[in-house]
Structure 1
Amino acid sequence: MKSASIIADPNIKQKPAASAETRTVTGAEAIILSLLAEGVEKIFGYPGGAIMPTYDVLYNYENQLEHILVRHEQGAVHAAQGYARASGEVGVCVATSGPGATNLITGIADAYLDSTPVVCITGQVFASLLGTDAFQEIDILDISIPVTKWNYKVTTAAEIPAAMAKAFYVAKSGRPGPVLIDITKNAQMDALDFVYQSCHNLTSYAPYPRPSQLALAQAASLINQAQKPMVLMGQGVILGEAETEFLSFLERSGMPVASTVLGLSALPTDHPQYVGMLGMHGNYAPNTLTNECDVLVAVGMRFDDRVTSNLAYYAKQAQVIHLEIDPSEINKNVHADVAVLGDVKQTLPELSKLLRPKTYPVWLQNFQKLHAVEDKKIIQADLNVEGDELGMAGVIEAINQNCDDAILVTDVGQHQMATCRYAKFKQSRSLITSGGLGTMGFCLPAAIGAKFARPDRPVIGVVGDGGVQMTMQELGVMMQHQLAVKLIILNNQFLGMVRQWQELYFEQRYASTPMSNPDFCMVAESYGIANQKIDSPKALNQAIKDMLSHPGAYVLEVMVKQQENVFPIITPGASVADMCLESPESDVEQMGG
């Protein structure tokens, strides 16, 4: 996630600089005042010795800056991620030194791989004790270097305002990402003359590459000549707040468009040019026809392995156009015949001006024909499970039928793929999920963060019985804040995705995947959260209605079919055009991820 090229920052939201009036404050107060100057309203954290001076000052600012006490530091960073993803603003989390800081690392790595703007503030031991193996001392900077966009250790109070300003600028600008500021205890306790100046540029850091007019012209020429073009929509459209520009580009070009998992909801799923989701468990038509299109236009996506599968067979017939803000992604996985560097909010309108309006009725019919095959063999069976059992897809469809404006937050596994495949989206930022890292335990705290960011929208967490138990203690946050998060636990009494792979590729040797679970409704009851458990399709629709109409937090446990599989699937090592619509032959040698 390295930035290059030269241009100042035309698209960053400019915040007014704080008053130039000098105040003498402690470093701890400088941290709080810096957050307020950046417009931060909520932070997620967990106190401890090395960050205690900051928490002591925070007590005086409770009416201006709300602190949400999580039950584990991993919950703090996931909540900050959910807040950022739902709002488009920077999420903030706070932890103490040692284990408090190290407990953030999984969430920081998740934010790094999913380009989520998060500022993490950690306390550190006194500067005089650094390097002595003092109590709860850990070198969190070296630990976090691989998974942060930037990190910095503050050892004197005077450094705090500039470090905080830079942290917010780096986290949000260009391709977003997490930043960590480690602040020693003496820096929090010592005094400084506080003046805050927002950061708007940095030497050697150019987060917004200047678009090449030649590249735009070459891209337009390829699109205008194309007979079977296809657009791949990534999260960059959402991160760049370019949904309107993308829609205009798409409708002028007439091209069919498919989405990555993280790109979902950037375009309404009922748009006539939308042809489905890409990837290992994506839709049959867009995956298959990736290897038949003549021009492939990738917008704000990174060609990760779950989209491309075996690169040796990926879109070799196509001319590839890659619109991307991060130069390090160009040619990293897939060669770009034309690379259009820049913020897609700027490059999409410029490219649109050069396009001739076109339609591709015959080409779109190819997608429709293949979708009909998938619908017959998979979709209808998923939505209408035989007998008296519940399927995951049916639960998602019941949400669609009863709520069309929810933010859906998922964990990782079969339920995640079912949600991504079957959820209907009408507005952007309606899906929050862990993409690159695939973090179990993400859902519940991320849903909490999303609800704090968007109290005006329903927030529904969809989680498996495995993932929910990784961060289940965050139900305490819902209890304490009377937070109206709706949590659906799809309980199949298995680690479902691992079990599916064991069935398909490991001769049905279900090693350590069956689960004995607690009574989740009793757990919810102990937190004072309304709850219900169902195990029959006849009860599903009313249960969803009950959950949505309840004014507060709600846990709905749904007992789903134990050994349900998610299809289609691209067998690891195979081509995207070789999707399996049913169980492939077991072949452990093909395992690639």
Structure 2
Amino acid sequence: MSDHFPPPAAEETVRLTVSQAVVRFLAQQHTERDGQRQRLFAGCFGIFGHGNVAGLGQALLQAEVDEPGALPYVLGRNEQAVVHTAVAYARARDRLQTWAVSTSVGPGATNMVTGAALATINRLPVLLLPADTFATRSASPLLQELERPDSGDVTVNDAFRPVSRYFDRIWRPEQLPAALLAAVRVLTDPAETGAVTLCLPQDVQAEAFDWPVALFAERTWHVGRPLPEPAALARAVEVIRSARRPLVVAGGGVVYSGATDALDAFARATGIPVGQTQAGKGALPYDHPQSVGAIGSTGTTAANALARDADVVIGIGTRYQDFTTASRTAFNDPGVRFVNVNVAALDTVKNAGVVVQADAREALTALTAALAGWSVDDGHRARTAELAAEWDRIVEAAYHPATPGAGEGGRLTQNEVIGLVNDVSAPRDVVVCAAGSMPGDLHKMWRTRDPKGYHVEYGYSCMGYEVAGGIGVAMASPDRDVFVMVGDGSYLMMATELVTAVQEGVKVVVVLVQNHGFASIGALSEQLGSQRFGTRYRYRDARGRLEGDVLPVDLAANAASLGVDVLVAQDGPSLEAALRKAKAADRTTVVHVETDPLVDAPSSGSWWDVPVGEVSTLRSTQEARAVYDRWKAVQRTPLAPSERPTTES
């Protein structure tokens, strides 16, 4: 046996720090779908601290000097908020482009955990680069280091593990290439995407290494469109053809896939009505002949009436969240069957449905062809049109009541505010919201005219998302005006990103609805027999309860102090004028309006499962529990097979 080995192959290398390598790698990643190619990372958001200023901070500065535009850096004001901005940007770009986010170790890092959860729950890509403690442990315990008596390798960043789709910690430079490739694989996979976290110990960030030049070559990640398997398609077609009262539930997957035209063709050809989830709203325009609007707990009476009677439910790109299924009370036909079209295997098996694991656009195109010549009967089409028209009349009455200023003391209602914003906005403009009573009211009533015209974060329903998310949408869609709808409760959680909007010259119109408390939870509290306890922004009264006078909070002055223009409206005409002025402006404007929180939106005739105390001395709670028990009797988990049993010969 010879002891002579061939000489090692020569490989060109470049000496960079770990941080410099990360920045150079990210700048070279692209995605492609249907021939459209774009950078995967539009840039890097962040806030610098001792854990990342000399590592990633230095690398980003060097890139800005040496390669301007390669990976632009944007300074935010709150770590959670900049994750929201990145996630909103990714949603607006159909998950084909996102941002990285860098923070220091400690509270800077853990502030991002909420943003990570939001991204993963909504299945939206974002790359998180939190600094970490020293890999060498040369100076332990560090400032902000978590010391545990039972483990030496656990840091606060391990909190990211359960809310990330991929997590890694780079202890040595040699680990970086594989981690980067694994991270981008997850970010660009429509079925697996979410938050990706790569923890970078601060000493490792500054460590130099000889990297293969090939690591920094341009790389394109092709986002495919999985085709439906023929046998699965045939099973789905058989179930749909057997239906007399079918209903489509269109989720976010329809929008992300760019399947809205395919859904339009499918619905027109078959006559099947389409209800839409929060993420799927806009999959069809509100006035489409087969559109019956929002479905579920915050749905329209039209969609929910059809859901109750549906014998076949075709879920396309939906994860069947509890608001969509009205906590499993929406679909009441005892023999209802489900067909589930989704790229994610997790969602295809829900409700024991027929599984069609495929891209939404490709599946809809195939279903339309396979169902050629088949349609619902004229009666189902007529009922769809009648129910949709009835709901539209209800919305019109809420938007424009016979007596404007329908709230107490002539104040506007939230319904009227939504109606005026809807009237002033252009068809391609975007409404952004996330938490409080507004998302439900928008889901029911907003007349969406464009697939990208509705952006409500309702997987996590995170208070504080609105302003930050609106900035992300505006950055991703510079040719659209963005209307951020936010209540005072959510505004107070995270208004500081208005400073970022000013810094970056990003224009959003923030409609700040002041109702002096938590309108949504206040209404829910009342429904559940808890009498709006602890939901009002009030002084304490003589009994020590938060039911005294209204707090003297001036949110208009607060917004002005952050550098934006502010307009104050008192009634319908002044609100309309303010909205038009804000839309015509070239910088961010906050439009402040006070509303009456006790006037609800039209009822969906549906339910949401929030448990009520089984025993109580309060009569209000006892009555609410009786209602709860009646709804619980309707609730069920569909487990019957969606396929008809066959007879074996």
TM-score range relative to shorter protein: 0.7 to 0.9
Q: Which position in structure 1 is the counterpart of 2:511? A: 488
Question: In structure 1, the residue corresponding to 2:136 is in which secondary structure?
Answer: helix
TM-score (norm 2): 0.81
Aligned to 2:216: 196
Deviation, 1:210, is 6.4
Q: Is the 8 A contact 1:254 1:273 kept in 2?
A: yes
Match of 2:638 in 1: none
Structure 2 residue corresponding to 1:30, chosen from 12, 17, 21: 21
Distance 1:586 1:158, change over 3 A: same
Counterpart of 2:643?
none
Amino acid at match of 1:87: R
Q: Deviations over 1:462-484 (max 9, x none)?
A: 10000011001111112222221
1:518 aligns with 2:526: no
Is the Cα contact below 8 Å between 1:30 and 1:161 reproduced in 2? no
Q: Which amino acid aligns with 2:45?
A: F
Q: Which amino acid aligns with 1:76?
A: V
Q: Please list every run of 5 or more consecutive structure 2 residues that lacks an aligned counterpart in the other structure.
A: 1-10, 30-38, 147-154, 539-550, 611-619, 636-649
Q: Is the 8 A contact 2:289 2:385 kept in 1?
A: no
Structure 1 residues 259 and 86, CA gap change in structure 2 (3 angstroms): same
Q: Are 1:87 and 2:87 matched, yes or no?
A: no
Tell me, in whole angstroms, the C-alpha distance in 2 between the residues paired with 1:406 and 1:373: 26
Question: For residues 313 and 59 of structure 1, do their structure 2 counterparts lie closer, same or farther at Cα, with a shift above 3 Å needed?
Answer: closer
State the Cα distance separating 1:363 from its structure 2 match.
Answer: 1.0
Task: Indicate the residue corresponding to 1:588 in structure 2.
Answer: 625
Structure exhibiting the larger radius of gyration computed from Cα positions: 2
Most deviating of 237-246 and 464-473: 237-246
State how 1:16-415 maps to structure 2 within 5 Å.
Answer: 22-38=13-29, 39=39, 40-52=41-53, 53-62=55-64, 63-64=68-69, 65-88=71-94, 89-129=97-137, 133-137=141-145, 139-175=155-191, 176-194=193-211, 195-196=215-216, 211-311=228-328, 314-315=331-332, 316-332=334-350, 334-336=351-353, 338-357=354-373, 358=375, 360-371=377-388, 374=391, 380-384=397-401, 385=404, 387=406, 388-402=410-424, 403-415=426-438
Shift of 1:422: 2.5
In structure 1, what is the Cα distance between the partners aligned to 2:415 and 2:173?
Answer: 54
Q: Deviations over 1:222-269 (max 9, x none)?
A: 223322211110001122232233333333322110100111122222
Residues 360 and 147 of structure 1: is their aligned pair in 2 closer, same or farther, counting only changes over 3 Å?
A: farther
Report if aligned partners of 1:76, 1:94 keep a CA contact under 8 Å in 2. Answer: no
In the alignment, which residue of structure 2 is the partner of 1:433?
Answer: 456
- Does 1:556 pair with 2:591? yes
Higher mean displacement: 37-46 or 146-155:
37-46
Which of 186-195 and 533-542 deviates more? 186-195
Counterpart AA for 2:608: P
Corresponding residue SS for 2:51: helix
The residue that corresponds to 2:642 in the other structure is: none
User: Deviation digits for residues 518-549 of structure 1, max 9, x if unmatched?
Assistant: 32221222122111111212212211111101
- Displacement of 1:114 after TM fit? 0.8
Higher relative contact order, structure no. (Cα contacts within 8 Å, ≥ 6 residues apart): 1
Please, what is the CA RMSD of the aligned residues? 2.8
Indicate conservation of the 8 Å contact 1:491/1:557, yes or no: yes
Q: Which moved more, 1:308-317 or 1:288-297?
A: 308-317
Aligned 8 A contact 2:170 2:198 in 1: yes
Identical positions, percent? 25
Deviation at 1:163, TM superposition (A): 2.0
- Contact between 1:258 and 1:277, CA under 8 Å: does it hold in 2? yes
**Are the equivalent residues in 2 in contact too, given 1:462–1:488 (CA < 8 A)?**
yes
1:170-195 deviations in Å (ceiling 9; x for gaps): 01213221111111123211222332
Q: Identify the range of structure 1 (503-512 vs 377-386) with the bigger mean alpha-carbon deviation.
A: 377-386
Label 1:192 to 1:251 Cα distance change in 2 as closer, same or farther (>3 A).
farther
- The one-letter code sitting in structure 1 at the alignment partner of 2:87 is Q
For 1:588 and 1:289, locate their aligned partners in 2 and report how far apart those are by CA, in whole Å.
Answer: 28
Contact 2:132 2:157 survives alignment (8 Å) = no
Aligned to 1:180, the other structure's residue is in SS state: strand
Does structure 2 retain, via aligned residues, the 8 Å contact 1:165–1:197? no
Structure 1 counterpart of 2:503, one-letter code: Q
Structure 1: distance between partners of 2:224 and 2:583: 42
Query: Which runs of 5 or more structure 1 residues have no equivalent in the other structure?
Result: 1-19, 575-582
**Aligned partners of 1:250 and 1:198: how far apart in 2?**
41
Query: Match for 1:535 among 567, 570, 579?
Result: 570
Letter in 2 for 1:319: R
Amino acid at match of 1:103: N
Preserved contact between residue 485 and residue 513 of structure 2 (Cα < 8 Å): yes
Partner of 2:580: 545
Q: State the alpha-carbon separation in 1 of the partners of residues 162 and 530 from structure 2.
A: 37
Q: How many angstroms does 1:218 deviate by?
A: 1.4
| 1:208 Cα deviation after fit | 7.6
Is the Cα contact below 8 Å between 2:291 and 2:388 reproduced in 1? no
Secondary structure of residue in 1 paired with 2:553 = coil
Task: Identify the residue that residue 447 of structure 2 maps to in structure 1.
Answer: 424
Q: Tell me, yes or no, if structure 1 residue 504 matches structure 2 residue 527.
A: yes
Note closer, same or farther for the CA distance 1:154–1:538 as it changes in structure 2 (3 Å cut).
same
Q: How many residues align?
A: 561
How far apart in 2 are the matches of 1:21 and 1:433?
48
Q: Would the aligned equivalents of 1:491 and 1:558 in 2 still touch at CA under 8 Å?
A: yes
Shift of 1:374: 4.4
Following superposition, the deviation at residue 312 of structure 1 comes to 6.3
Distance 2:607 2:368 in 1: 37
Q: 2:497 aligns with which of 474, 494, 498?
A: 474
Q: Normalized against structure 1, the TM-score is what?
A: 0.88
Counterpart secondary structure, 1:50? coil
CA contact (8 A) 1:27 1:158 kept: no
Equivalent residue, structure 2, for 1:571:
607
Rounded to whole Å, the distance in 1 between the matches of 2:267 and 2:621 is 36
